[in-house]
Amino acid sequence: MARPILYTYFRSSASWRVRVALAYKGLEYESRPISLIKDGGQQKSAEYTALNPLQQVPCLIIDGATLTQSLPIIEYLEETRPNPPLLPKDPVLRAKARQTAETINAFTQPLSNSTVLGLVGEWCGEDKKEKWAGIWIDKGFTGLEKVLEKTAGKYCIGDEITIADVALGPQIFNANRFKVDMTKFPIISRIVEELYKHEAFKAADPSRQPDCPEELRA
């Protein structure tokens, strides 16, 4: 079977989610970096737009299919390669795991992604970018912290890593980048500390990616 191909950018949190899922499930893949900075953004090239008309990473080519959107990609991996699982067996807990993943994917991340921040900088001033991104990450984490009070064990949902953790881990990078006060979120901070000890999270870390600049490498 052909190795999956992942179009990825080292610092992209959505790509990072897929890298974690692939590593967690022990799947080898070829990494094809798409720089969101070089050449005015390689995601806008005609070649890449043919793969993802939305001009975003990640994109995974697997089993002859071209898949985009990190969470559906992870759901596909889960359906076709169920072990080790990234969703709990219990339907309510499955919904809770997806709920947390969606809170990151549909609420927190889109409002602070590079396109949105570019426009905020252009329309409101470069100095407003950090504040804008920080506000949305803080809002997302404030809600999430409350939810996790009820669902968390060692990880977001009990003691096993799920899709919720896969989404949460990379978002911390952006929270730190935009100077969000993480002391307000002790449960999230504790879970992330735990996650970063796991081999799948280490392998997926930006500092270990082939397109990571020399000075930021692990």
Ligand X SMILES: N[C@@H](CCC(=O)N[C@@H](CS)C(=O)NCC(=O)O)C(=O)O
Q: Rule CB under 6 A: which residues touch ligand X?
A: 12-14, 36, 41, 43, 55-58, 69-71, 105, 113-115
**Sequence-ordered list of residues with C-beta below 8 angstroms from that of 112, at least 6 positions apart, any chain:** 132, 133, 136, 137, 174, 178
Give whichever of 45 and 55 is closer to ligand X, judged by the CB atom: 55
Q: Minimum CB separation from ligand X for residue 202, in Å?
A: 20
Q: Minimum CB separation from ligand X for residue 48, in Å?
A: 10
Give whichever of 31 and 114 is closer to ligand X, judged by the CB atom: 114
Note the Cα 87 to chain centre separation in Å.
16
Give whichever of 40 and 82 is closer to ligand X, judged by the CB atom: 40
Q: Minimum CB separation from ligand X for residue 170, in Å?
A: 9
Tokens for 65, please give them.
């299919």
Q: Minimum CB separation from ligand X for residue 159, in Å?
A: 26
Give residue 86's identity as a one-letter amino acid code: L
Quickly tell me which residue has 């881990």 as its tokens: 169
**Which stretches of the chain are DSSP H helices?**
13-24, 46-51, 70-80, 91-102, 114-124, 129-151, 163-177, 186-195, 199-204
Give whichever of 45 and 189 is closer to ligand X, judged by the CB atom: 45
